[in-house]
Amino acid sequence: MPTITTGDLEVVFPKVAKEKIEVAELDVGTEIVALKYVTDLETTVTGDAAFVGKGVAESSVVLKSTKENTPKLVFQNNAFNKSNIKISGKGAGNIKSNTGAFANSKITGGKRGDSVKFGNKSIVNNATIVLGKGGDSITFGKRTTFKGKTIVNVTPGGKDVVTFGKNLKSQSGSVVIKNFDKQDKLTVGNDTFTYKQIKNGVDIPGITIKLA
């Protein structure tokens, strides 16, 4: 299949997608521009990369890290659907969704302190985020929209931080946090909840927590 390689990434795509994407190498990194809705992209990121334009679906992204290098991936497009992102290597990865829907897709963290952020213009719909072994952080903006049920598995082994910009009272979606332990931290708006409070059954609208 056709392959495009830059200093930041390599993307493999089917021939039918040739007219649907462009790859632009900029000073700040490399953009994969979806000119039309596109599927079946296989992307390996080693530097700074972004998806912009139309929706991307049924695709895979691997952030290939080292101890010295943290690859960064930004979503600035309409949607990322039914796809998978994995952070590999001995370092950390940085993922940020600024706009669009992150739907029916999965993020799998790596061995170090990964960072995952969803901005105020992001829609999180039935997503699965499995944090790795390091001290990871996942942040949802004040105006992030939630639909369906999203699962955040913080995975024992590090001091993980889960932050919601505000509570989910007005949201149609919900979040389930799994494997929360005494090392982890949960903040919702201006409130920070301890392991003891959660164990004693504190009510946090829209958020269900399953302890490790």
Question: What pLDDT score does 64 carry?
Answer: 98
Question: 163 to each of 37, 66, 136, 187, 207, how far by Cα in Å?
Answer: 32, 26, 11, 5, 12
Average pLDDT over residues 32-46: 98
Q: Is the pLDDT of residue 157 over 80?
A: no
Residue 209: is it exposed, middle or buried by C-beta count within 10 angstroms (0-12/13-18/19+)? buried
What is the band of 134 on the pLDDT scale with cuts at 50, 70, 90? confident
Average pLDDT over residues 95-117: 97
pTM: 0.96
